[in-house]
Copies of this chain bind each other. A is one copy, B any other.
Amino acid sequence: MKFSIKKNILLENLNNVSHAVSNKNVIPVLGGIKFELNEEGLYLTATDNDIDIQTFIEKKYIDKVEKNGSIVIQGKFLLDIVRKLPDGLINFEVIDGLKIMVYTTNSNFNLNGIDPSEFPNLNIEKSKNPIILNKKIIRKMVNQTIFASSTQESRPILTGLNIKINDNKMECIATDSYRLAKKTITLNNNVDNLINIVIPSKNIGELVKILTDEDEEIKIHIFTNKILFEFDNLLFQSRLLNGNFPDTSRLIPTDYKIKINADLNELFNVVDRASLLTSEKDKNVIKFETNGNILTVTSNTPEIGKVEEKLPINKISSEDIKIAFSAKYMMDALRTITSKDVKILLNTEISPIILNNEENDDLIQLLLPIKTY
């Protein structure tokens, strides 16, 4: 393999595949990036056995191809090297079979490579009828939900994001069993079969890091045990989690006794300040109490002190309520709301708290109250 390529083109592609480079040192080849140069162009591939990423650089973007071939180069070092080389052409040349020279006029790196035959076969497949979605919409959907996933391996299925598609309705749900985030999207095309899969939240979080915030399309190919995202010159594959995601539909009430409208920023600041005197080990508990159109938020940690915040609200109900919950979870949920006001829907002090955008409920944030007595 011998070729030359502009630094900025290579770096962009290396940055993208680097999200699948393993930083565990157990299997050396998984810490590498496979370079594969053929008649069409250059394929760069990385996998940590959980996420697989492949990018393709067309031949017209490669400045000089002298010899096709392939090799695996240690990802961490290569990325640092390319980042720190000056702008301009970078030359690659495999010598003695398993050594790779990376050089410019004044710099010459001679790296130990790994035999490409040791690189895992990724079995990247495409389906006939992929789902088409917009990058911006996926980014938003993921960012509004995955934070509610569990990070505990005790119930592995809850570390994933549940995606259900029925006709043209797509639901995306994450829950750690104390809170739940659910986003509903309308697809442009109908899907023939019901789809109900669980993607590891960590993996789809990596996908979102690569996605630009543009109105461009992504093709999504779904299989029984894996999912492939296809966009730009890139393929991003993730395994799926086995098992049944809990049916959460009955958790979300359909009717509410108390509906509150509050200014989003003001409510966030009030909760944020009330949480200052709470402690992580006590789950950052704060209390809400309505009194007509005044919301009082309090917390009390005897060793430190107590706080009381008041906020004007618009309450549609003559009933008042006292309810306690985790300030951290409330703030996580409020961060995903994008309207000026937030809708808070309540029933009793022991039933779930629902947060919505002011105008619509395509996003539902649910948190369970905490009993404090």
Supposing A109-B277, A273-B107 touch, asked if A305 and B84 sit within 8 A by C-beta, the answer is no
Q: How far is the CA of A239 from the CA of B67 in the complex (A)?
A: 67
Which chain B residues border A303 with CB–CB below 8 Å?
A: 112
Q: Which residue of B lies closest to A84 (CB)?
A: B273
The CA-CA distance from A233 to B309 in the complex, in Å, is 33
Chain B: minimal CB distance from A280 (Å): 14
Is A306 close to B, CB under 8 A?
yes
A77 located at the interface, meaning its Cβ lies under 8 Å from any Cβ of chain B in the complex:
yes
Closest to A269 in B: B84
Q: A111 interface residue, CB < 8 Å from B?
A: yes
State whether B304 touches A81 (Cβ < 8 A): no
Chain A, 220-242, contact with B by CB distance < 8 Å: what is the 0/1 string?
A: 00000000000000000000000
Given A106-B309, A109-B307, A305-B111, A84 and B277 contact (CB-CB distance below 8 Å): no
Q: Tell whether A361 is near chain B: CB-to-CB under 8 Å.
A: no
A110 within 8 A of B: yes
Query: B273, A304: Cβ atoms under 8 Å?
Result: no
Give the number of residues in A that approach B within 8 Å (Cβ atoms). 30
From B77, B272, B308, contact of A304 by CB (8 A): B77
Once the chains bind, are B276 and A80 in contact (CB under 8 Å)? Answer: yes
Alpha-carbon separation in the docked complex, A305 to B73 (Å): 11
A74 interface hit (Cβ, 8 Å): yes
A64 within 8 A of B: no
Query: Within 8 Å CB of A310, what residues of B?
Result: 106-107
The smallest C-beta distance from A78 to any residue of chain B, in angstroms, reads 10
The 7 closest A-B pairs by CB, nearest first: A111-B305, A106-B310, A108-B308, A109-B307, A110-B306, A84-B273, A80-B276
